[in-house]
Amino acid sequence: MTDLLAPLQSLKQGNWFKLICGASYQHLPAVRNLTLAYTLAGADCVDVAADPAVIAATQEALLVAQSLVDDAQKRGFAFTGNLPLLMVSLNDGEDPHFRKAEFNDQDCPSDCSRPCEKICPAQAILFNNTKDDFSGVISEKCYGCGRCLPICPYGIIYTKSYVSTPGAIASLARGNAPLIMSTGIDALEIHTQVGRLAEFQRLWDAMTPWADKLKLVAISCNDGEGLIDYLQAIYNLIVPRPQFLIWQTDGRSMSGDIGDGTTIATIKLGQKVLTANLPGYVQLAGGTNSYTVPKLRRMGLLNDFGLPILDFGLEEHNLKSKIQNPKSKIAGVAYGSYARVLLSPILDQLENKEVINTDSQGNIPLEEEPELLWEAVRLAHTLVSQIKSGQ
């Protein structure tokens, strides 16, 4: 049973860590193993697709994590058995997080160098896979980053998007709030964009019968003209009000694994929302990586744990100088593509192993390979500990 006070206390303290498995990422072995590793490393929230199979895989990983409390503590990890909140993501309209790349491999010239396969961070594009002679996009692995679209020399890759409908929400809730809670869904995230207030209202109305049972609601939005007025309008129509509300600033969607510079966009957006003093907590996403917390801390945007503010370069100085309310702090950081790529060497090793103890689909649970499990937890902890310990 999740001790909800523990992750919510992290939010209050400003050291909240969220793992984003992906709003459209449905590769069950990876979701399960990412959840297990980051839970043991101390994550406060795991955000997954609103898919019953994905939710079930996540829940299974959380149960396994609880059984490994003693092992984690013996190895020096601070996991106490308090589980992260389980969050699902919905959207009120077209959104890159809710799409899949597709193409017909028969349209690919035989002499193409296949740059799409090389650039895909999720390894979702394969040609002539040796197991089943498959070529194309593995749908459950694709999380919609779109990097394959502009790089295709023949322009034959396209995307298929989907929108959370009232019917889908009703199916998830089944018209019964206690049932939602019994599945372990503690929190909800809504992806929206400036100018979609009517669409947001439609989605919120569909959730109203059970929204007040959630512990937390997050609103994720990119920057745009009129952003603050839009977020204020959203706040005004959210009734009943959630116990905890997060404004997720999605600076540069699904780009954290690209490099240092991607985190600047979400920091700028986080600063913008902070200075608006909206009710609730501000949490970064979109472009977050290992550079994010050090930059935030040097800029005085996080609880500093008594650490001195260091010299950090002109661009960060310009950002810091614009902060209108120095007492405002970022409450937490969410990591998606970077968190996944960080553990990809471990998950790749696991996928390529041939052992007897597999699940019903032939996948190897991470806990069945202790050496890989604890290496994955160690890697996950290098990211989680940045915001947890101030390092």
pLDDT > 70? residue 324: no
Cα–Cα distance between 23 and 149 in angstroms, integer?
19
**Residue 158 pLDDT > 90:** yes
Contact (CB, 8 A) for 376 and 37: yes
DSSP 75: T
Integer angstrom CA distances of residue 344 from 33, 122, 257, 259, 385: 11, 9, 11, 16, 19
Which helix (H) or strand (E) is 49 found in, with range?
strand 45-49
* pTM: predicted TM-score of the whole model, two decimal places: 0.89
Q: Summarize the confidence of residues 170-194 as an average pLDDT.
A: 69
Residue 185 has what pLDDT?
87
Confidence of residue 327 (pLDDT cuts 50, 70, 90): very low
| Residues 248-257 pLDDT 10s | 999 999 999 9
360 pLDDT above the threshold of 60: no
Residue 183 pLDDT grade (very low, low, confident, very high; cuts 50, 70, 90): low
Residue-wise pLDDT for 188-219, tens only, equals 999 999 999 999 999 998 888 778 788 999 99
pLDDT for residue 326 is more than 60: no
Q: Which residues contact 388 (CB under 8 A, 6 or more apart)?
A: 15, 17, 42, 78
Lowest average pLDDT, out of 25-39, 87-101, 176-190, goes to: 176-190
